[in-house]
Structure 1
Amino acid sequence: MSKSAVKISSDLLSNPLCEQEPAFLEMVTAFDTAMKRMDSFNQEKVENGTLPILFSRFSSVFPSLNMAVKRREQTLQDYKRLQSKVEKYEEKERTGPVLAKLHQAREELRPVKEDFEAKSKQLLEEMPKFYSSRIDYFKPSFESLVRTQVVYYTEMHKIFGDLTAQIDRPGLSDEQREQENDAKLSELRALSIVADD
């Protein structure tokens, strides 16, 4: 946003009106200086890492959590595959070779089932702890965000306060300024080259 403001102020400075009206040039120059100060402040804070990137440390935990869920899902797929194999042999006629394959399929299924149950149990125990701990992380991050916003808006208040002091015409209220702007707009709308809406 500050880059756009700097672009707007630069475009205004290159406008021919600035050459014709010294008072307008002075106002636009003050505006340009303020926008460049704002952009410089923003760049400095980004480069120094003062503006926090919220949740970056907490999100770094997610890959391990996601991997644990993926491993459980993979084990579940293996478990289902082996379970269907066992069920297939249980449905067949009980002959010697089928019973041997059934026994072998059950032996293959047992460690996979135990692994799946262990992973599921671990996730069921740890997920509630994980979710409850997120509050402990978000509180300081939120506080950091608020403090950063205070610093940012304090600096912006200072920059725009200085700008107001440079371009302000004392003695005019906001209502008088608005009436003056409406009068100028009415003059512009009255021109023959302006189309009616």
Structure 2
Amino acid sequence: MPFKIGQPKKQIVSKTVERDFEREYEKLQLEDQTKKLHKDMKKSTEADLAMSKAAVKISADLLSNPLCEQDQAFLDSMTALDTAMKRMDAFNQEKVNQIQKTVIDPLKYSGVFPSLNMAVKRREQALQDYKRLQSKVEKYEEKEKTGPAIVKLCQAKEELRPVKEDFEAKNKQLLDEMPKFYQSRIDYFQPSFEALIRAQVVYFTEMYNIFSQLTDQIDEAGLTDEQRQKETEAKLNELRSLSIVADD
């Protein structure tokens, strides 16, 4: 008489083993975070490039201003600014290229996660097969020990043996390898973020040099920021006093 096969009465995987497996697997739920980091890094470098390109465009527009034809000092200042912006853009492009190679491309590491998830799914399928066949064996063990029942019990045990071995092998492999995989992500990412820091240090050091040189070229010696602000206000007031400037 056919019977419904449910969950086995015998616990085939100890709670300790199951807890160990779940703990190690939870540590590896990094796929979403890695994808987000990859996306954010791409956005960051794109914004960096857009900023330096915009600065080059502004300096080019200023250099083409008609005032440059009338005032040599203004032309010299705008030429210095344009040169500085182009240098900044070149160093920025170099920084972005470095970040692309050392950080963004390695973040494609997330491609290994589907393989890991597939291995976990195969382990889960093997566990379900194991439970199903263990339950089948238990049902035959509970039946009256007739000749046909004993034959079916032996057949069920033979069917169970390779399935049990398959699950235990898959389970052991994952328990052995998941901690190694977890540790390896640190070893993998650490050089990338060290390279990111070095790229930023080089870039901002160059920016300091570029803008220091630019300041020396266009700055009026001896003026403090407060004096410069007062001078700007005075010139604006001169413009406001012109008869062609209408009152609001």
Query: Which of 96, 114, 135 is the matching residue for 1:66?
Result: 114
Q: Distance in 1 between matches of 2:56 and 2:168?
A: 60
Q: Distance in 1 between matches of 2:237 and 2:122?
A: 71
Q: Counterpart amino acid of 1:54?
A: V
Query: Which of 156, 161, 165 is the matching residue for 2:216?
Result: 165
Match of 1:53, SS?
Answer: helix
Aligned length: 190
| Post-superposition CA distance 1:15-72 (Å, at most 9, x none) | 334334433222221111111112223334556x487522744753x43453032232
Structure 1 unaligned residues grouped into runs of 5+:
none
| Contact persistence 2:99–2:196 (CA under 8 A) | no
The residue number in structure 2 matching 1:36 is 86
Q: State the Cα distance separating 1:14 from its structure 2 match.
A: 2.6
Q: State the Cα distance separating 1:126 from its structure 2 match.
A: 2.4
Query: Which of 103, 109, 118 is the matching residue for 1:54?
Result: 103
The residue number in structure 1 matching 2:206 is 155
The residue number in structure 1 matching 2:228 is 177
Q: Counterpart amino acid of 2:202?
A: V
Q: Distance in 2 between matches of 1:188 and 1:83?
A: 89
The residue number in structure 2 matching 1:121 is 172
Q: Counterpart amino acid of 2:74?
A: F
The residue number in structure 2 matching 1:76 is 124
Q: Which has the higher contact order (CA 8 A, sep 6+)?
A: 2
Mark the CA change 1:46 to 1:15 in structure 2 (over 3 Å): closer, same or farther: same
Q: Counterpart amino acid of 1:147?
A: R
Give the aligned CA root-mean-square deviation in angstroms.
Answer: 4.3
Query: Which of 59, 79, 90 is the matching residue for 1:9?
Result: 59
Structure 2 unaligned residues grouped into runs of 5+:
1-50
| Contact persistence 1:72–1:116 (CA under 8 A) | no
Identity across matched positions, percent = 55
